[in-house]
Amino acid sequence: MDAVELARKLQEEATCSICLDYFTDPVMTTCGHNFCRECIRLTWEKAKGKKGRRKRRGTFPCPECRELSPQRNLRPNRLLTKVAEMARQHPGLQSRDLCKVHQEVLKLFCEDDQSPICVVCRESREHRAHRVVPVEEAVQEHKLKLEDDMEHLREEMEKTQKLQTREQQALAKWQEKVQERRQRVMMEFKKMAVLLVEEEQHLLQALRQEEEDTAARLQQSMAALEQQSCSLETLLLQLEDRSKREPLQMLRVRSLEQEQCECAVPRGHPHRTEDCLQSPWADRSAQELPRYVGPVLSAGATPGGLDIHWSFTLYPYWPLPGDAQMAPSSSPWHHQYRPLGYGPSRDPGSQLESAKGRTGRE
């Protein structure tokens, strides 16, 4: 008996006749046949309802010889358990090495169907026209293909690992750049906060200085206006007094009074108080401050001058002849001020009349 036949016999002895697989927990009946414990139990469970097949209560027939055996009289077959385990581990007795149809060793490989076959299957109509090679040759070809595939996969895996390493390095560099930019932004905003505080103090100080200067000039202007009001009131009283004089006396002093009035009363409209208070820097500071923050941080420039010019003060001239020397040289009325001399033509009473003088029709 050759090895193949011996292997087939051993496989038959280790196979259960109910499940057609290797024994699992084999048991022996009273008639000497062996079955899997679970297989024989299920078989007898199905036969419980068939009373015609049982001659005595509690006895069941053997699936092979039909001899009656008590259900509880099942003995474990430990020797067959070892044989089934050996057959299960032997490579020549595995189910994939034998043809399921002919129970022959699978020695050939059909390339058309891509499946192993036995010598009996080779002569059948199904595989007769197919290209068939020995299993060993097919295994070698398959190994070569597997080697090529594995080599290609190794190359792809190496490329993937290189790309992964490169991406990890790029990620690390990017995180470093982001951290550097984050620190830079934080430092810049700290500097901006300090500069904003300094600029706020500077602007507030400049505003306080402008407030003081403007208040001083307004007070001077108010004092000048008060003096002018008093002078005009005196002039008005003098004119009222002159209007009550004799006609000839009124005509004699007409030319002198007209010259004094023209010198005392300047032409043109004085500036209003609102014009003095409307500082050009104050008007545009609130609007330009948001756009100004950026240049301040970069260049450190200061917006618009805070100097108060005579053009922004109330009444940029001094209407009284006695105050002509106090008018600034930049004033547009500076050329109209000329102090009167002390001659016989000057009235010692320093009386002033209207700029239009008198017509004699009063």
- 247, part of any domain: yes
What is the model's pTM?
0.32
Banded model confidence at residue 169, pLDDT cuts 50, 70, 90: very high
Q: Considering the domain boundaries, does residue 45 fall inside one?
A: yes
Give, in degrees to the nearest 5, the angle at Cα 330 between 324 and 336.
Answer: 40
CA of 66: how far to CAs of 30, 60, 63, 70, 74, in Å? 11, 8, 6, 12, 15
The angle subtended at Cα 63 by Cα 15 and Cα 47, nearest 5°, is 130
CATH number of the domain within which 73 lies: 3.30.40.10
Side-chain-side CA neighbours of 74 within 13 Å: the count stands at 18
Domain boundary among 66, 95, 124: 95
Q: Residue 356's pLDDT is what?
A: 45
Q: How many residues appear in the chain?
A: 362
What's the distance, CA 20 to chain centroid? 67
Query: Can you tell me the mean pLDDT for 1-8?
Result: 66
* Radius of gyration from C-alpha coordinates of the chain: 64
Q: How confident is the model at residue 9 (pLDDT cuts 50, 70, 90)?
A: confident
Q: Which residues pair with 36 in a beta bridge?
A: 26
**Residues 133, 135, 138, 144: is their CA dihedral positive or negative?**
negative
Q: Which of 95, 129, 144 is the last residue of a domain?
A: 95
| Boundary (domain end) residue, out of 69, 95, 121 | 95
Please indicate, yes or no, if residue 74 is contained in any of the structural domains.
yes
Tens digits of per-residue pLDDT, 91-120?
655 555 677 887 777 888 898 888 888 888
Looking at the structure of the chain, the number of domains it has is 2
Torsion angle, alpha carbons of 64, 67, 70, 74, to 10 = -40
Whether 198 is in a domain gets the answer no
DSSP 8-state code for residue 105: B
Q: What's residue 156's pLDDT? A: 94
Whether residue 174 lies inside any domain: the answer is no
Structure tokens at 243: 């209007």
Task: Give pLDDT tens digits for 19-53.
Answer: 878 888 988 888 888 889 888 888 888 877 555 44
Domain membership of residue 159 (yes or no) is no
CB under 8 Å to 324, separation ≥6 — which residues? 318, 337, 338, 339
- The whole domain housing 8 covers 3-95
Residue 171: pLDDT band (50, 70, 90) is very high
Asked if residue 24 belongs to a domain, the reply is: yes
Domain-embedded: residue 166:
no
